[in-house]
Structure 1
Amino acid sequence: MTAISIESEPVREIMDKHDKIVVLGAAGLVGQNLIVELKAQGYDNLVAIDKHEYNLGMLAKLHPDVVTVLADLAEPGAWREHLRGAVRVMQLQAQITGKDPQLFVRNNIESTKLVLDAIHEFAVPFLVHISSSVVNSVADDDYTNTKKEQERLVVDSGVPCCVLRPTLMFGWFDPKHLGWLSRFMEKVPVFPIPGHGRYMRQPLYNRDFCKIIVRCMEKMPTGAVYDIVGDQRIDYVDIIHTIKRVKGLKTPIVHIPYTLFYWLLKGYSLFSAKPPFTADQLKALTAGDDFTGVDTEREFDVRQTPFEAAIRESYCDPRYAGIVLQR
């Protein structure tokens, strides 16, 4: 599935660069990049809400002109008032990893119910909701199941909105995924690969995705659901070799039997409250998903950055490559 249009409407207004835009979950990977992109495009009335104090503080330091609000969206509170007068709300908050199933329910479902209630109360004209490609996945885990329920809540809410389902993302600020792997490779004597490593991935460059978010914010494609996929298919082992080459590293890459790799992750999770890579994620990596997405250049006028160029900018660019979020 590439795009579903439900009661699609034409553009109803032209946004002003001074319109109030509220970004929920703003201190995470997508949010930090989205703030950079919004400012680059001239938007100057931004409100960033997040519960992660350190990461939100980093955002405030990088962008002192942005209003930052430390708040937990899964709890009623004064954060709701910041939606008053908003012309757009961007919903990014998500629980992606964790060992407690209730965290996924709380942060993916309960927070969304409260956000939708506030959007109704203040009659926000349009919501851009960031879902995930996992809603089309064969995976069966807490993240996948709660993201499916979260998307259903949004689509059934009656709020004018569009839904974006990105695949695995990478880019500036990334504390997990490819960002963590690139830093891990710098520190270890050998870099382990599970099995043969020929697990096809469709990584999406975050800066490209943020440009798509802004286009949806401006065009208001009400009722549309878009699958946003990295347009280059690349095996996991080749991703690792690309990172090694771009960063000029000499770390040997060693293949480890899949079963051994799985149990090593299981064992590590017993001693780490926030493991950077889990056994469930390993299952998802090897699930064999092959996603089909919209043509981002035709649909949004966003030509995707070639993978190696995007990796180079992500991990070598002096502007933000050295800034890493806390998990």
Structure 2
Amino acid sequence: MLAKDAKIVLTGAAGLVGQNLIVELKAQGFTHIVGIDKHEYNLGILRELNPDVEIVCADLAERGAWENSFDGAACIVQLHAQITGKHADLFVRNNIAATKNVLAAAQKNTVPYLVHISSSVVNSVADDDYTHTKRAQEKLVVESGLPHCILRPTLMFGWFDPKHLGWLSRFMAKTPVFPIPGDGRYMRQPLYERDFCRCIVRCMQDQPVGGVYDICGDTRIDYIDIIRTIKRVKRLRTLIVPIPYALFRLLLRTYSIFSAKPPFTADQLKALTAGDEFHGIDTAQIFGVEQTPFEAAIRESYTDPRYSKVVLKR
């Protein structure tokens, strides 16, 4: 069992999972948390919300003094990832090069355990830079020889979300008309971030060696019904309008020309409509985590007075 004062290092700590995981770790009484990230704005949010957390601003794709933060660590949670981007080299740099450096630093400092956060896309039919590099990242972890487990979450939502359902929620609140690609009948298995973080903490405590866990949201729900749930919970009057898939894709491609970081890309649209169905573990049986009902999780994510209005930058 991991001691409450054990040193825990999170890479990619200022991102969506990291911010939520720190909230959960502190709620469970952990006191020695080190967060490493390169995103200065998001680190500012982390500092403001959690002044007791040790912060290291560093680019993991470059060797440096950040490696000393692993000295004495009881556990590393590897969260850093390039999820969206317009160029393949970004994914290679942040999903592969950075991971090689983290694993080397963990080996050098004889860190006893690592929890690697992968993605359900490794089991997906998707064919894109994110999927390719996440598969390669997993391979690096397995071949490192470090005691580890791997968690593969599906699409996540929750506090601090700058994209995905968080972006859709904010966009819906600002526009009188909300476009849906095609008929919107694309099955999703969204995973509530806080439920996922509870699974991570359980892995940190139990330290299963070599375990690989596919973690899905318990609820199977069509994309259009996700949008309707957000609209209902936030009491919005937005009109939901289906538009032809080809037109929707064209609009996304046009928008990406003018935006360096489009919130929703043509590749993500393709993944949305790919027809993937993921079969995950029973989180209650394996980790003792009963998943929050979908509508209750949406309500907590987007109406909670503490964190619902805090949004990270991409």
TM range (shorter): over 0.9
TM-score (norm 2): 1.00
SS at match of 2:214: strand
Corresponding residue number in structure 2 for 1:101: 88
TM-score (norm 1): 0.96
Amino acid of the structure 1 residue aligned with 2:242: H
**Displacement of 1:292:** 0.1
Choose which of 17, 20, 26 in structure 2 pairs with 1:33: 20
- Where does structure 1 lack aligned partners over 5 or more consecutive residues? 1-13
Choose which of 134, 140, 165 in structure 2 pairs with 1:178: 165
Q: Is it true that 1:50 corresponds to 2:37 in the alignment?
A: yes
SS at match of 1:47: strand
Choose which of 278, 291, 295 in structure 2 pairs with 1:304: 291
**Displacement of 1:319:** 1.1
Choose which of 128, 136, 145 in structure 1 pairs with 2:123: 136
**Displacement of 1:15:** 1.4
Count of matched residue pairs: 314
Distance 1:40 1:75 in 2: 33
Amino acid of the structure 2 residue aligned with 1:199: Y
SS at match of 1:248: coil
Q: Is it true that 1:124 corresponds to 2:120 in the alignment?
A: no
Choose which of 268, 271, 274 in structure 1 pairs with 2:258: 271
SS at match of 2:311: coil
Q: Is it true that 1:67 corresponds to 2:54 in the alignment?
A: yes
Corresponding residue number in structure 1 for 2:143: 156
Distance 1:164 1:82 in 2: 23
Choose which of 184, 192, 196 in structure 2 pairs with 1:205: 192
Corresponding residue number in structure 2 for 1:90: 77
Distance 2:260 2:309 in 1: 24
Corresponding residue number in structure 1 for 2:207: 220
Q: Is it true that 1:147 corresponds to 2:147 in the alignment?
A: no
Alpha-carbon RMSD: 0.4
**Counterpart contact for 2:60–2:102, Cα < 8 Å:** yes
**Displacement of 1:156:** 1.2
SS at match of 1:210: helix
**Counterpart contact for 2:176–2:237, Cα < 8 Å:** no
Amino acid of the structure 1 residue aligned with 2:83: I
Distance 2:220 2:175 in 1: 27
Distance 1:101 1:16 in 2: 40
Distance 2:44 2:248 in 1: 36
Percentage identity across aligned positions? Answer: 72
Amino acid of the structure 1 residue aligned with 2:63: P
**Counterpart contact for 2:192–2:297, Cα < 8 Å:** yes
* Moved >4 Å (runs of 4+): none
Corresponding residue number in structure 1 for 2:243: 256
**Displacement of 1:113:** 0.2
Distance 1:318 1:252 in 2: 26
Corresponding residue number in structure 2 for 1:240: 227
**Displacement of 1:222:** 0.4
Distance 1:118 1:258 in 2: 46
Distance 1:102 1:229 in 2: 29
Distance 1:36 1:16 in 2: 17
Distance 1:19 1:322 in 2: 31
Choose which of 85, 91, 97 in structure 2 pairs with 1:110: 97
**Displacement of 1:16:** 1.0
Distance 1:183 1:267 in 2: 21
CA offsets, 1:10-66, max 9 Å, x none? Answer: xxxx21110000000000000000000000000000000000000011101100000
Larger RCO (CA under 8 A, 6+ residues apart):
1
- Where does structure 2 lack aligned partners over 5 or more consecutive residues? none
CA offsets, 1:181-226, max 9 Å, x none? Answer: 0000011120000000000000000000000000000000000000
Choose which of 273, 282, 289 in structure 2 pairs with 1:286: 273
Corresponding residue number in structure 2 for 1:192: 179
Corresponding residue number in structure 2 for 1:326: 313
